[in-house]
Amino acid sequence: MANENGSGSLLYLYGVVPADAAAPPEALRGLEGEPVRLVRAGGVAAIVGPVPAAEYTDEALDRRLGDLEWVGERGLAHERVLDWFLERGPVVPLSLFSLHRDADRVRARMEADAERFAELLERLRGRREWGIKLWRDEEEVSGHVDTLSPLLRSMQEEIESAPPGRRFLLSKKRDAARADELRSLSRRVAHRLFSALREKADRATTITLPASPPEGSRTLLLHAAFLVPDEGFAPFQARVTEMAHELGGVGFEIEFTGPWPPYHFTEPDGD
């Protein structure tokens, strides 16, 4: 909620940590290069920092949200603060631009949601979020689809044994079926990858793919997040490596990122 008089400063809320979390150093800077501190209340602590009220009114934010460079810079600062705490314990990350008028309002929010935040923090303790994207290289996968698809292999065998006239018609039929088989193969690969990694994680979720055209010669097939215990990271990483080696040989690429603040395994809400 923005300051109605547009003066002074607001408190930007980055996330929530346990009440006994270490105070951040002076060198840790958040949005607008401002220092970060903790506001402890209700058995938890809010990570906050000041931002100029005039630049963070509802109207000002509405004007700036379309500026990807401006939003991106603040997103990086937001992540930088959360990453510092993530390296030292559990954190419930909040979305960008959660604003409060003053520390009293932050304390009131912490006290009202303290039980829920405490449960989330305990559930996240010793765990991190890792991201997976599965890409299809159009040219390379197309070169392998005839051998990867049982249907297309069967059709090819039929073509090879057919007389010339029928061979032409069967070839046309196979070409028409290839697009459907490519989609079917991609779904199977994505499902197999997600299932294999889900077995090595505490929790997993898929993320809605953007309704946008393929990126050059690649198509995004799967975007997923996995909540992995720290002690279970080595087998999870080994499974990712194994799947990347196997699928890479036929034109599928795995993009592995993290660790991230566990955005997809909490229930953050705005002010």
Q: What pLDDT score does 138 carry? A: 74
Q: Does the pLDDT at position 4 exceed 70? A: no
Whether the pLDDT of residue 269 is over 80: the answer is no
pLDDT value for 66 = 85
Parallel, antiparallel, or unpaired for β 127-137 and 203-206?
Answer: unpaired
CA 180 to chain centre: 29
What percent of the chain shows pLDDT beyond 70?
Answer: 80
Q: Can you read off the two tokens belonging to residue 238?
A: 């080994």
| pLDDT on residue 73 | 93
What was the pLDDT predicted at 268? 42
CB 9 within 8 A of CB 50: yes
**Cα three-residue angle 119-122-125, rounded to 5 degrees:** 150
CB-based burial of residue 201 (10 Å sphere; 0-12 exposed, 13-18 middle, 19+ buried)? Answer: buried
Position 45 scores a pLDDT of 95
Lowest mean pLDDT of 20-29, 38-47, 145-154, name the range. 145-154
Summarised one tens digit per residue, pLDDT across range 153-177 is 665 555 555 566 555 655 556 665 6
pLDDT digits (tens, 9 = 90+) for 87-131: 999 999 998 999 999 999 999 999 999 999 999 999 999 999 999
Cβ-contact 146, 156 below 8 angstroms: yes
Q: What is the reported pLDDT for 169?
A: 59
The lowest-confidence range among 22-36, 57-71, 159-173, 226-240 is: 159-173
Confidence of residue 181 (pLDDT cuts 50, 70, 90): confident
Long-range contacts for 187-195 (Cβ within 8 Å, ≥24 apart)?
A: 189/134, 189/221, 189/247, 189/252, 190/134, 190/221, 190/222, 193/132, 193/134, 193/222, 193/243, 193/247, 193/254, 194/132, 194/222, 194/224
- Helix, strand or coil for residue 73? helix
The C-alpha atoms of residue 18 and residue 20 are separated, in whole angstroms, by: 5
Residue 68 or 216, more confident: 68
CA 210 to CA 26: how far, in whole Å? 39
At 10-37, the pLDDT tens digits run: 999 999 999 999 999 999 999 999 999 9
Q: What confidence tier does 67 reach under pLDDT thresholds 50, 70, 90?
A: confident
What is the pLDDT of the chain when averaged over all its residues? 84
The pLDDT tens digits for 203-225 are 999 999 887 666 567 889 999 99
User: How many C-beta atoms surround the C-beta of residue 138 within 10 A?
Assistant: 15
- Closest CA relative to residue 21, chosen from 55, 2, 44: 44
Strand partners, 203: 227
- The interaxial angle of helices 150-161 and 138-148, nearest 10 deg, is 70
Per-residue pLDDT at 78: 95
CA-to-CA dists, residue 144 to 28, 148, 167, 200, 221, angstroms:
50, 6, 21, 29, 17
The candidate with the shortest Cα–Cα distance to 252, out of 129, 148, 130, is: 148
Share of the chain above pLDDT 90, in %: 58
Q: Are 139 and 39 in contact (CB under 8 A)?
A: no
150-161 and 164-198 helices, crossing angle to 10°: 160
